[in-house]
Structure 1
Amino acid sequence: MNSVNIAAAGIQSAIARFDESARRTAQAPLDNLAEEHVERLIARREVEANVTVVKAADEMMGTLLDTRA
């Protein structure tokens, strides 16, 4: 499994966690509001980190292709 596939799986997992947290907040807005907010912040950072991995892999592949051309 390459880094892009791993990062894509991480993005999907973080989005699912974010959505689940948002659903819980919508169902009971005042139950664990702070915890759910933190959960969504963590999920957001996980998406950002995995997007950075995808960008880095893309840049490395571009550099490799430029070198081979």
Structure 2
Amino acid sequence: MDPIATAQYGMLAASRRFEASAFRTAQMGDPNANVDLGLEVVEQITAKHEFSANAAVIRTADDMLGDLLDILA
């Protein structure tokens, strides 16, 4: 299993989740839209943290790979 590829997919999923929530939030001006602003704020914050966590996984995997290469060199 490739942690970098998994984290990249997680970043993509978090980005899509954030975009969907932002789209729903933008529809608040429509009187027919049933948008819960509190729920959307929580959704966007959660997506932001998911993205950041997956970015941290990529940084850590990159650091570990660099250390491994230093040991082998």
Instruction: Return the alpha-carbon distance in structure 2 between the equivalents of residues 31 and 6 of structure 1.
Output: 32
Partner of 1:10: 10
Q: How does 1:1-69 map to 2 (within 5 A)?
A: 1-28=1-28, 31-69=35-73
Instruction: Return the alpha-carbon distance in structure 1 between the equivalents of residues 59 and 45 of structure 2.
Output: 21
Rg bigger for which structure?
A: 2
Contact map agreement 2:14 2:51 (CA 8 A) in 1: yes
Q: Which runs of 5+ in 1 are unaligned?
A: none
Q: Which runs of 5+ in 2 are unaligned?
A: none
TM-score, with length taken from structure 2: 0.89
Backbone CA RMSD of aligned residues? 1.3
Could you tell me which amino acid in structure 2 is paired with residue 48 of structure 1? Answer: S
Deviation at 1:31, TM superposition (A): 2.4
Task: List, as ranges, runs of 4+ consecutive aligned residues in structure 1 with deviation greater than 4 Å.
Answer: none
TM-score, with length taken from structure 1: 0.94
Instruction: Give the fraction of aligned pairs with identical amino acids, expressed as a percent.
Output: 42
- Report the count of equivalent residues: 69
Cα deviation, 1:15-58, whole Å, max 9, x if unaligned, reads: 00000000000012582000000000000000011011000000
